[in-house]
Amino acid sequence: MSKITVVVVDDSALVRSMLTEIINRQPDMTCIGTAADPFVAREMIRNLNPDVITLDVEMPRMDGIDFLSKLMRLRPMPVVMVSTLTERGAEVTLKALELGAVDFVAKPKIGVADGLRQLADDITDKVRIAAKARINRLHLPAAAPVAAASPGASTARTSTATVSTATAGTTPTKPATTSPGLGRLSTEKIIFIGASTGGTEATKEVLASLPADSPGVVITQHMPPGFTRNYAARLDSLCKISVKEATDGERILPGHAYIAPGGLHLSVERSGANYIARVQDGDPVNRHKPSVEVLFKSAARVVGPNAIGIMLTGMGADGAKAMREMKDAGAYCVAQNEATCVVFGMPREAIAAGAVQEVLPLTQIAQHVLDHLRATVGQALSRV
């Protein structure tokens, strides 16, 4: 089996050296080149044709976002972004995911060498996932027609993964809703979403399709601290429902979505007649904090048959067992299908656990959930 070939693009000599060392320690991958800026990287990609590149967000001469945008239009390929843990870094990283980057690694501003060593497993896992992704060409509304790629350029390795970039580059405005109302279903039901790699855009697809009177939505997306607030703000501008980072003790309301803060677990509890968000620190669960397992277990325990579970793209098995608990407690559960996942890990494990009633393409999930909700009109609904 051939090794995954990687080109590292970063203006820091230290980071280039560290990433090269981390990659070359793995038996299944090798760093075949490093570049200090995108102009050098462009020639290196053309000549070496790597399977994956790691790309620094902020670099001289041309920043990582401009380079990524050009790359995904002219020569689409798997990219893992290397971002800094800053407000600016978070905003740019989210833009990179929108443009088609498979995932990102957040490096600390200080203690970079030690920080990267601690992230070695995370970095190499994300490179492996990126190498399996099927990447779509980026189409920007203002872009001129693009010539065919050079004869030496190969397409990304084919697999069950897809990174959608068709709508990247647009400037969204919060849309108005035209869907039929859901009535009291919105106050009785809660939608639970779990996602990891590829989930930022998958969650956007689901939330943007929900009406303003949707039931409350509670989301665990695997993200590190410092990124979820910006992510919530971005979704809030795109969706009919309001989207925010969850805070401990707040009531879960219809027409609102709550995202687990990076580095903290999110769950749901009862307070009288209301459901509230519980945001707490704790040990990682299934290597993750926040963990989908924690959120879905609370859904099974507290919300029972009034919960709707959605498992989106992501590596690993986080949340699969708890989703089965949700189903056993009477919840209706859906998983994203293999063909539309960036990583068919978490949905596959949920399906294998017998935890889902339906497996659907990403673009059909929101409408299917709404149809299911409307079909329950007239059925007895009660808080558990």
d(CA 184, CA 233): 27
Q: How far is the C-alpha of 114 from the C-alpha of 65, rounded, in Å?
A: 26
List phi, psi (to 5°) of 313: -45, 140
CB atoms within 10 A of CB 149: 15
Residue 253 CA: distances (Å) to CA of 53, 298, 311? 42, 17, 21
Closest residue by Cα to residue 101 from 9, 229, 171:
9
For strand 274-280 and strand 265-271, is the pairing parallel, antiparallel, or unpaired?
A: antiparallel
Catalytically annotated residue among 10, 56, 236, 318: 318
Q: Is 265 one of the catalytic residues?
A: no
| CA separation, residue 280 to residues 258, 268, 277, 287, 318 (Å) | 14, 11, 10, 16, 18
Task: Give 104-108 contacts, CB < 8 A, sequence gap 24+.
Answer: 104/80, 105/54, 105/80, 105/81, 106/224, 106/226, 106/227, 107/15, 107/82, 107/83, 108/84
| Rounded Cα distance, 254 and 218, in Å | 11
CA dist 345 to 79, 165, 196, 313, 356, Å?
Answer: 19, 21, 9, 7, 14
Catalytic residue status for 66: no
- CA–CA distance from 325 to each of 149, 210, 227, 268 (Å)? 48, 25, 30, 15
Active site includes 179?
no
The owner of tokens 């990126």 is 130
Of the listed 196, 209, 214, 298, which one is catalytic?
A: 196
Catalytic member of 51, 213, 214, 222: 222
CA distances, 129 to each of 20, 102, 162, 280 (Å): 18, 8, 11, 29
Token pair recorded at residue 263: 């580095």
The Cα–Cα gap between 301 and 293 comes to 12
Report the alpha-carbon distance of residue 230 to residue 106 in Å, rounded: 14
Report, as residue numbers or ranges, the catalytic residues: 196, 222, 318
